[in-house]
Structure 1
């Protein structure tokens, strides 16, 4: 098989394997917020997929002629390097190298210090690359140099271990370099597409200014929670005198207040609640959706927010500070509610009751 044909075949197979891996990632981890608490566990499933593919490659290698055998080994090496770019956690960077070397030994019954050396240098190099040169698409020279170095050590080791004539490892190494470079370009393009898709998804569900979830997200989440028969607590709130602040200090000052206000609320919810979510549902209007919370929990959260917001001082231009307060309406789901917006509308009416009564107040719905 000629070099051009080999390059085409290995590139086709490698890109195909990576393409399937990306589909698997989208299925198993669709989280666009990066909030997966144990990404290494999810990546173990990807590593299992990698292991099956590499095992199949070595099975094909053992049933091939000597030159084709080397081609399949080259493919295993390329797949290993490509896979380590696709994962994030250290465990799942180390495992592919260990698995590839272990399967090589299992299928060939060949072992030497070159295998151990290649494995050790590969692990160290990839961990260094991941620590200081991540993500891979931002440091092409470093990343490709690491791949080239690991490939060189691997083929020198195979040449020594298998007593190969010089032209064989040289030609295989050239194929490795070309396929690795082509795959790298493909993965960079796929990563950019993924980033664009994530940004698009976030723009649909998140407010660009405050990064809180938006009205569309609130509407979807609230109705999902309601349909799943979850107890809902809703806190509707409005920054007091916001229009006056905008008119007096300008829209930049208003934007600064919105950002600080949202950030402070997110901090409180993260520290004091279990699962409450913040949404920007209007210009200066924010809503907190608190599923599975008792009425007492929702009231307590509203009081904690009020206390924290009363102490919020936002710096604007020329060192000036603006004190921020908020009016709130607090409601919980009633048995008679037909949908989540029945609850929300009551909370919204209570919010405006707080504003009519002088602002900087909490109005709480009657218990049911």
Structure 2
């Protein structure tokens, strides 16, 4: 008897179709995760409504396509029959629930709520004559409540393994009662289906965590490679990567590209008088003040730390003359925002060199060398000055 039960279990739950559907499910969830992360990084709460709606619709479309793809693969494996339908159902339920946790937008919420009416043979009115109709209504109400609760409490659920498990169990139970209403299999089989569903979700949760760790590590590597560790702004490596693209794009266009280079006046004195830790604080103060002011005034400039106390700002679509007023405002903001450190007031000034990309430049380095030269003209003229295309100005003389 025990051998017969074991063989039945193996033939039902440990066969090739189970392995294929499981791998396909994991693959689809991996693809959904990567696309969702990529899309969500492009928007924020401050993004325009049309951008957020577009991203959410794309995410909903990806979920719908994943469900259709899973259905097609299942029918191919079963030659169009519905044998082992529990396998297909659990795989779809896994994707539906997983996307509720991952994507968290109203499109996903609506898909989860409407799915019982488009699932397999349920898109008909036959169940209205079914004696199990009350079970369908109660289970559907339970499903709606669970989906709404998950939608509103996603982060809390993910931080609690027990709450996460209970929601999985209730979600699976409500769905399997809905399926039972339409297909009338022995009710005790619901327990088996729930166990399989929980196993599916455990496997997917494990894979999700590994995938998230991998993506977070990748993001960390990107940050380390492209952002300055001390100041948090883009570094020279990031500038080097962008320089060829900038040259190739703007050397062929009539749209101007202006580069401004500045450094901190008498920076060595901060290190010698107060120590290198104070010098580091001065660097962070300058970077954060300039970056914040650029963001608040929407200058459309991009700030890089070139090295030491030297920084570069790239202005796309602006001439040097248009940048003079912007840079003057940045310098004035920095001058009017002294660094208070250990009760000591530290006034920081900066010197600038500015130039634009010309048709005679053979590479970005030609532009950079010219800007670097103009910066040193400002420093040699007494610092706290600005040199634009070879002409030096005192900031106090600029109106």
Partner deviation per Cα, 1:42-71 (whole Å, 9 max, x = no partner)? 343232122122134456579434x62233
**C-alpha spacing 1:148/1:265, structure 2 compared with 1 (3 Å):** farther
Aligned equivalents of 1:64 and 1:32: distance in 2?
A: 42
Q: What is the root-mean-square deviation of aligned Cα atoms in Å? A: 3.0
Task: Give CA deviations for 1:246-283 in whole Å, capped at 9, x if unaligned.
Answer: 22222222222222211111112112234210000011
**Counterpart for residue 346 of structure 1:** 370
Gaps (5+ residues) in structure 2? 1-10, 128-135, 392-399
1:147-187 C-alpha deviation (Å, 9 max, x unpaired): 23322332244445654423211000000001101100100
When structure 1 is superposed on structure 2, of 353-362 and 142-151 the one drifting more is 142-151
- 2:59 matches 1:46: yes
* SS of match in other structure, 2:355: strand
1:329, distance to aligned residue in structure 2 (A): 1.1
Query: What secondary structure, in the 3-state scheme, does the structure 2 residue paired with 1:133 have?
Result: helix
Structure 1 residue 217: Cα displacement: 1.1
Within 2, Cα distance between the matches of 1:214 and 1:99? 49
Cα shift at 1:115: 5.7
**Matched residues in 2 for 1:35 and 1:285: separation?**
34
Q: What is the distance in 1 between the residues matched to 2:160 and 2:260?
A: 46
* Structure 2 match to 1:101: 116
Structure 1 position 310 matched with structure 2 position 310: no
Q: Once structures 1 and 2 are overlaid, which stretch shifts more, 159-168 or 305-314?
A: 159-168
Instruction: Tell me, yes or no, if the aligned pair for 2:257 and 2:317 is still in contact at 8 Å.
Output: yes
Counterparts of 1:31 and 1:125, CA distance in 2: 25
Structure 1 unaligned runs (5+)?
none
| 1:268-347 map, 5 Å | 268-317=293-342, 319-347=343-371
Q: Are the aligned partners of 1:235 and 1:287 in contact in 2 as well (CA < 8 Å)? A: yes
Give the match for residue 143 of structure 1: 164
Provide the residue aligned with 2:30 in structure 1.
19
Aligned mates of 1:333, 1:90 — CA distance in 2: 44
Preserved contact between residue 7 and residue 175 of structure 1 (Cα < 8 Å): no
**Residues 181-200 of structure 1 aligned to structure 2 (within 5 Å):** 181-200=202-221
Q: Does 1:174 align with 2:195?
A: yes
> Secondary structure of the residue that 1:237 maps to in structure 2?
strand
Say yes or no: does 1:228 pair with 2:249: yes
CA contact (8 A) 1:84 1:96 kept: no
Deviations for 1:221-250, whole angstroms, at most 9, x for unmatched residues?
232122112521111011112221122222
Task: Compute the TM-score of the two structures, normalised by the length of structure 1.
Answer: 0.86
Q: TM-score, normalised by structure 2?
A: 0.80
Q: From the superposition, tell whether residues 354 and 251 of structure 1 become closer, same or farther in structure 2 (CA, over 3 Å).
A: same
Which of 131, 146, 152 is the matching residue for 2:173? 152
Contact 1:93 1:127 in 2 (8 A): no
2:96 to 80, 88, 99: 80
